[in-house]
């Protein structure tokens, strides 16, 4: 993935830095601003021939630099071979072309032959527009092309193979880890046992800290509760023999007797009588409940309060170490127990994983053999169909050959090497298409492959030079959607003149032309917010401040998030 591209004195571009990064980057600008110089700059970084005529007028040389992020071990090997470095996955490439036509390159901070850039480009880039041949020179892309043509049957086997291949690698790493980290795992097991013993000594129950808090609150205020309830009980139903003490129960009963004595004389007193009877029952019930409550309080003492506080203190100790509450501590203990079981079973686990590893490796070999069979069959069909297409593209004697041959070992995509070969004339031996085909023939081979495959093959970075030329409207929107979809798995850089395509970009760059000094020079800037909206409006209507164009631009940008 190209993180950044720096261009100096190339064509009309005086000095421009393009922040690219992952996802979909759209590059726009007015006609003549130098958008295609961006693709030319990438071509120089990929080892294409330098043109002295592309050096900006008055400049001694043109310079292009790029920062590429890669985890490809093959790229690292090439860079190391050239004397350079890939630091923290970051590779710095540069290319200089002088006004006299001399060309120099650096790879990873070290001077290198210009041709070495082409070797790296095979692993890093695919340009659709001016440098398609780079993709066809990549053996990995050639294998992927054949796999795509093989259809869902081959893809299903390849997916299963890759899963099994990863499983085999994971098992190998796991077994190696278990065998190489016994001391660390023993120390971890000792720690987990101590933690589980500490938790078991307290034996927390989910939610009990809330109940304990309520209980402690009650016990801490027992005297006040006892006094209040005793006074309330005495007011409702006094146990005193003093005839002068009048409690609520006695007063209500007295009222009830008086009303009962005269209720028959007036029916309106019936409802009052019923109310008094209800109040009498309620007062009696309240008195009984207060008596029972006071009896319960009499059974609780300071010993229980101390015990509850001690229990809560024990729980709080666990909370500080293992979780915010009892439920969290219980969950932590369950996880620790599972981990301890795993650690205690090292020897059994190693034996089990070893058996799984043998089975997985055998399955990997079976799937690799099946992949080879499917690829060989697909290669025959692909060769026939592309040859037919080439004959319809004014290459009547050409023969296209997809050849499958075995590798020494099994890799992430199986045990096959795939080469795409071309025999341009009768009797000539098929040779790699990058060597046997002329520029025109290579273009037609690529066109034939695109017709047969109906798509492109994934590589880390795709560059499209006005892929939308000659289209517009709904078709352009669909192109934008597909480029955005491709950007989910690869970096996509597109030079475009259509707002419908640029709308789907996650990163929008504008090449800006300046002719104020009597000569033209261009620079580049990232667009966001209103600036991006204005550029989209300009692409749509030629006017960056048109109200209707701005509304349309906003609608297009909304499509990206829909």
% of the chain residues with pLDDT over 90: 21
Residue with the two structure tokens 């120089």:
44
Task: Reply yes or no on whether the pLDDT at 472 is more than 70.
Answer: no
pLDDT band at 519 (very low <50, low <70, confident <90, very high): low
Positive or negative: CA dihedral 302, 304, 307, 311: negative
Average pLDDT over the chain reads 82
Residue with the two structure tokens 């290198």:
112
CATH architecture of the domain covering 1-138+459-527:
3-Layer(aba) Sandwich (3.40)
More confident site: 126 or 291: 291
Instruction: Tell which residue, 306, 303, 233, has the closest CA to residue 225.
Output: 233
What would you measure as the largest C-alpha separation in the chain, in angstroms?
A: 136
Residues 411-423 have pLDDT tens digits of 999 999 999 998 8
Helices (H), 181-247: 182-202, 208-220, 222-236
CB 490 within 8 A of CB 3: no
**In sequence order, which residues have a C-beta less than 8 Å from that of residue 507 and are 6 or more positions away?**
19, 20, 21, 23, 24, 25, 26, 526
Both tokens assigned to 240: 């005193």
Helices (H), 345-430: 346-391
Helix (H, G, I), strand (E, B) or coil at 237: coil
More confident site: 131 or 314: 314
242-246, 282-286, 290-294 — most confident range? 282-286
CA distances 189 to 131, 177, 351, 444, Å, are 59, 16, 20, 66
Q: Specify the pairing of strand 110-112 against strand 125-128.
A: unpaired
How many CB atoms are closer than 10 A to CB 366?
12
Both tokens assigned to 437: 């085909």
Task: Reply yes or no on whether the pLDDT at 49 is more than 60.
Answer: yes
Residue with the two structure tokens 């164009």:
549
pLDDT of 456 reads: 40
Residues 424-435 have pLDDT tens digits of 788 788 888 767
Task: Reply yes or no on whether the pLDDT at 455 is more than 50.
Answer: no
Determine if residue 23 is left, alpha or beta; phi over 0 gives left, psi from -120 to 50 gives alpha, anything else beta: left
């Amino acid at each position: 993935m190209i993180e950044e591209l720096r261009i100096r004195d190339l064509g009309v571009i005086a000095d421009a830095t393009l922040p690219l990064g992952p996802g979909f980057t759209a590059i726009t600008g007015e006609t003549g601003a130098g958008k295609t110089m961006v693709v030319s700059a990438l071509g120089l970084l990929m080892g294409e021939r330098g043109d002295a005529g592309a050096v900006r007028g008055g400049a001694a040389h043109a310079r292009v630099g790029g920062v590429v992020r890669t985890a490809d071990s093959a790229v690292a090997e090439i860079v190391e071979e050239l004397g350079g470095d890939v630091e923290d996955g970051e590779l710095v490439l540069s290319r200089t072309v002088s006004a006299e036509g001399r060309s120099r390159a650096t790879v990873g901070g070290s001077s290198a032959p210009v041709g070495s850039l082409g070797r790296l480009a095979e692993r890093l880039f695919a340009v659709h527009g001016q440098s398609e041949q780079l993709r066809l020179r990549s053996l990995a892309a050639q294998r992927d092309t054949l796999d795509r043509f093989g259809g869902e049957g081959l893809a299903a086997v390849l997916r299963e193979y890759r899963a099994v291949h990863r499983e085999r690698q994971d098992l190998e790493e796991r077994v190696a880890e278990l065998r190489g980290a016994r001391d660390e795992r023993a120390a971890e097991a000792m720690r987990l046992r101590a933690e589980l013993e500490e938790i078991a000594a307290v034996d927390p129950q989910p939610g009990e800290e809330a109940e304990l808090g309520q209980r402690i609150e009650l016990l801490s205020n027992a005297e006040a509760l006892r006094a209040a309830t005793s006074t309330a009980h005495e007011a409702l139903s006094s146990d005193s023999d003093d005839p002068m003490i009048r409690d609520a129960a006695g007063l209500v009963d007295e009222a009830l007797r008086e009303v009962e004595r005269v209720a028959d004389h007036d029916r309106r007193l019936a409802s009052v009588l019923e109310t008094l009877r209800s109040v009498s029952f309620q007062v009696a019930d309240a008195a009984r409940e207060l008596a029972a409550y006071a009896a319960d309080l009499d059974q609780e003492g300071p010993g229980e309060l101390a015990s509850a506080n001690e229990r809560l203190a024990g729980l709080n100790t666990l909370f500080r170490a293992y979780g915010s509450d009892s439920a969290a501590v219980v969950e932590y203990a369950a996880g620790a127990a599972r981990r301890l079981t795993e650690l205690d079973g090292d020897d059994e686990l190693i034996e089990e994983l070893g058996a799984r590893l043998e089975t997985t490796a055998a399955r990997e070999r079976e799937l690799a053999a099946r992949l080879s069979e499917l690829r060989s069959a697909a290669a025959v069909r692909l060769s026939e169909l592309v040859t037919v297409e080439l004959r319809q593209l004014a290459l009547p004697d050409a023969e296209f050959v997809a050849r499958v041959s075995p590798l020494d070992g099994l890799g992430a995509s199986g045990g096959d090497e795939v080469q795409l070969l071309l025999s341009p004339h009768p009797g000539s031996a098929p040779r790699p298409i990058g060597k046997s085909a002329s520029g025109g023939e290579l273009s037609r081979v690529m066109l034939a492959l695109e017709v047969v495959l109906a798509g492109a093959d994934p590589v880390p970075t795709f560059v499209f030079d006005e892929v939308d030329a000659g289209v517009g409207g709904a078709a352009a929107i669909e192109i934008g959607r597909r480029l955005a979809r491709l950007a989910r798995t690869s970096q996509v850089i597109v030079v475009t003149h259509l707002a419908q395509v640029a709308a789907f970009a996650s990163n929008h760059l504008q090449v800006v032309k300046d002719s104020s000094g009597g000569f033209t020079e261009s620079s580049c800037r990232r667009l966001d917010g209103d600036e991006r909206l204005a550029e989209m409006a300009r692409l749509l209507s030629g006017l960056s401040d048109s109200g209707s164009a701005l509304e349309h631009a906003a609608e297009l940008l909304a499509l990206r998030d829909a």
